């Protein structure tokens, strides 16, 4: 079946550093991937849509200079949190669609100290 992977699953970084999260579609190609953020006991909040070969589309209120997205191939999208601060600590989840059905990665827990 369709599988979406993320790496790393957990990351702890110091305030001011940058962190890269990878999202891969393992057995299908995805021209579009999605990045979500989830706070404890809340639902998923769409941050941006990652488009292969073109610029990402960001949701209102999401800083594109802070959350850099690169969709370098049909199976890989990366999210880089630049100059991370404690308020960026969260659970980040990516998604890719196989035909009509969105599949989600296992998530990345980011903790900024």
Partner 1 sequence: EDQVTQSPEALRLQEGESSSLNCSYTVSGLRGLFWYRQDPGKGPEFLFTLYSAGEEKEKERLKATLTKKESFLHITAPKPEDSATYLCAVLQSYNTDKLIFGTGTRLQVFP
Footprint of partner 1 on this chain (CB under 8 A)? 4, 6, 32, 34, 41-44, 46, 49, 91, 93, 95, 97, 100-107, 109
Q: Which is nearer to partner 1, 59 or 63 (CB)?
A: 59
Q: Which is nearer to partner 1, 49 or 82 (CB)?
A: 49
DSSP state of 28: S
CB of 40 to partner 1, least distance (A): 10
CB of 66 to partner 1, least distance (A): 21
In terms of residues, how long is the chain?
Answer: 113
- Decide if 50 contacts 58 (C-beta within 8 A): no
CB of 68 to partner 1, least distance (A): 20
- Helix (H) / strand (E) element for 103: namely strand 101-104
CB of 82 to partner 1, least distance (A): 23
Strand runs labelled E in 8-63: 10-13, 19-25, 32-38, 44-51, 57-58
């Amino acid at each position: 079946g369709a599988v979406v992977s993320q790496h790393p699953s957990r990351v702890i970084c110091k305030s001011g550093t940058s962190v890269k999260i990878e999202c891969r579609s393992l057995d299908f190609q995805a021209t579009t991937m999605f990045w979500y953020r989830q706070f404890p006991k809340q639902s998923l909040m769409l941050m941006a849509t990652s488009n292969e070969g073109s610029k990402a589309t960001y949701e209102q209120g999401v800083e594109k200079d802070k959350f850099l997205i690169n969709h370098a191939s049909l199976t890989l999208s990366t999210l880089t949190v630049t100059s991370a601060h404690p308020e960026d600590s969260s659970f980040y989840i990516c998604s890719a669609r196989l035909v009509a059905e969105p599949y989600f990665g296992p998530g990345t827990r980011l903790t900024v100290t």
